Amino acid sequence: MAKNTVTKRELCNAVAQKHDIIQSDAKNIIQSFLDQIIEEISAGNRLELRDFGVFEPKIRAGRNARNPNTNQPVKVAPKTVVGFKSGKKMSERAQEAFNEL
């Protein structure tokens, strides 16, 4: 039910306008922030941003699956995925926006 896709470039432009800085500075700040999130998650850390949400690495266990084309059993190796749970403020705002549709 998303209305539009907002790109990183559009996000950088909005931040630059809001804080009266040049777009390249906004881009560098946002990219640095995103890089730091990746760094923390790859180190196995849980990242909590109050009101926004929590990023947490989780390990998915290996399992036995089946190839749908050949019907042959396939082993799927364990892997790490990133879970995200939205914070209270984000959840409330998303619910308000959904109710307006």
Report the domain count for the chain: 1
Determine, yes or no, domain membership for 41. yes
CATH, residue 49: 4.10.520.10
Determine, yes or no, domain membership for 3. no
Rounded Cα distance between 3 and 22, Å, is: 27
Determine, yes or no, domain membership for 64. yes
- pTM for the whole structure: 0.77
For 57-90, the pLDDT digits (tens) are 999 999 999 999 999 999 999 999 999 999 999 9
Determine, yes or no, domain membership for 1. no
Q: What is the mean pLDDT of residues 3-27?
A: 94
- Domain containing residue 26: 8-100
Determine, yes or no, domain membership for 47. yes
Determine, yes or no, domain membership for 2. no
Determine, yes or no, domain membership for 69. yes
For 33-64, the pLDDT digits (tens) are 999 999 999 999 999 999 999 999 999 999 99
Q: Please write down the HEC assignment for all residues of 54-91.
A: EEEEEEECCEEEECCCCCCEEEECCEEEEEEEECHHHH
